[in-house]
Amino acid sequence: MTAAAALNDHLRQISAMGRVAGLLGWDMETQMPRRGAAQRAEEAGAVARALHALEVDPALAEAADAAEAAGADPVTAVQVAEARRIHGRATRVPAALAAALAATTAEAQTIWEQARAARRFADFAPALDRVLRLKRDEAECLAREAVDGYDALLDEHEPGMTAAAAAGLFAALRPGLVELRARLTDGGGAAPRLEGHFPKEQQIALSRRIAGALGYDWEAGRIDLAVHPSCSGTFGDVRITTRIDEADPLGSIYSTIHEVGHALYEQGLDPETGLTPAGQFASMGVHESQSRLYENQIGRSRAFAEWLYPLLVETFGPLSLDSPDALFRAVNRVETGFIRTEADEVHYNLHIMLRFDLERALIAGDLDVDGLEAAWNDRFEADFGIRPPDAAMGVLQDVHWSVGAFGYFPTYTFGNVYAATLDAALRTDVPDLDSRVATGDFAPALAWLRPRIHRRGRMLPPARLIAEAAGREARPEALVAALKAKFEPLYRP
């Protein structure tokens, strides 16, 4: 066995153990009986210990050194760098801490679901406090010279990104978004709503139909219901979840489209490297660019409304909306609301900025769990002019902190900026994209993304990957300009 093959073998074992952990998480969200939470926490801890042992094994570092010494080709060079990154992070985190994090977050997710249903933050606060203390410990272990704890957590989701750089991006975005929101919401233009009763089974059937049309491979995936929509798995086993509100089918439709965007990325990775670090997704920001591109730039386009409208009528019968144009306006309604996942494109990134600031304060110790709900409500009222009526509409709406995903939220905005950049290039290269989408032909979009994003895996840093794919750097100003071009005509008095 060559040095490169030995390194790949070790890396594939790490990847396989990570996928086992992911399957435990998927089962917990979709199938696990409620009384199974305690033993699932123990199981998650055991898997975390096994994964940590593979990552800290000196053989991993030795294999990386041997592969590099043998003369690394570009793929092997990435494998070597990723092996050292994995080994370096793992050796700074004790096995007991890794296991405690896995067990505690598995238990906390179930507690969060129950607290969210009861709309009481106090029911979740003790579990969140346990998670937060462990994440602070992890951040302290990972922090190095010139890298603070939050930067270390953010780097896990967006390699190379820092809190200072993210804050700069948000500062560049915020004025334009606030100004655009004020003009649109004060302009008097009212978008229609889709109203009625939309049975659960029909919604699920429609979600399956849309996913298949977008290119989702049903032989490599499945769809289930969960409290919080998600995508998990990779390559030949990529599972998505959605949620159903029988008064609002658009919520399920766009959650499904969002998760399908993630799934298409995972299903489209290079089969030669897809189960090793070089073949994994480039970053969560790039991952979110795929979901947001499908959800917003394609899924909320006028052309998509032309295709979707007759499907809605076929599925549910006559609608309260009388035309594809009315549907287009409905899915692009700009309205201040409490829920991030239901926010329009103009408001969405303001939701992310709130979470970014709060979680930085939590990790730094400037904010504790007992003050979190009040801090959330005060900040929300300051930013949006309304105060959450209960915790489910406020601090309990997201799953992320219950599973320990501190540092993840900023990647949604990175993804929005990347998606706007990719969309502009896609439409230049495929000038008839809208006419194809209007007929339900989504193949050109996927064919464009496959070689430029999906197949390239982690061979390039995130910003460079996007720049090479689009032929231009991703800049926040481009997102604001794209939003103005889309929404100003819709809301012009």
User: Catalytic amino acids?
Assistant: 259
Q: Is residue 222 within a helix (H) or strand (E), and if so which, with residue range?
A: strand 221-225
Task: Show the DSSP H helices in 365-409 as ranges.
Answer: 372-384
- Give the residue from 147, 179, 177 showing the smallest Cα distance to 165: 147
Residue type at position 326: A
C-alpha pair distances (Å), 319 with each of 195, 200, 285, 309, 322: 8, 16, 36, 9, 7
Q: How far apart are CA 214 and CA 73, in angstroms?
A: 35
DSSP state of 231: E
Q: How far apart are CA 221 and CA 203, in angstroms?
A: 18
Indicate the burial class of 31 (C-beta count within 10 angstroms; 0-12, 13-18, 19 or more).
Answer: exposed
Tokens linked to 195: 């109203």
Q: 230 by DSSP, 3-state: which?
A: strand
- Give the residue from 238, 297, 263, 230 showing the smallest Cα distance to 470: 297
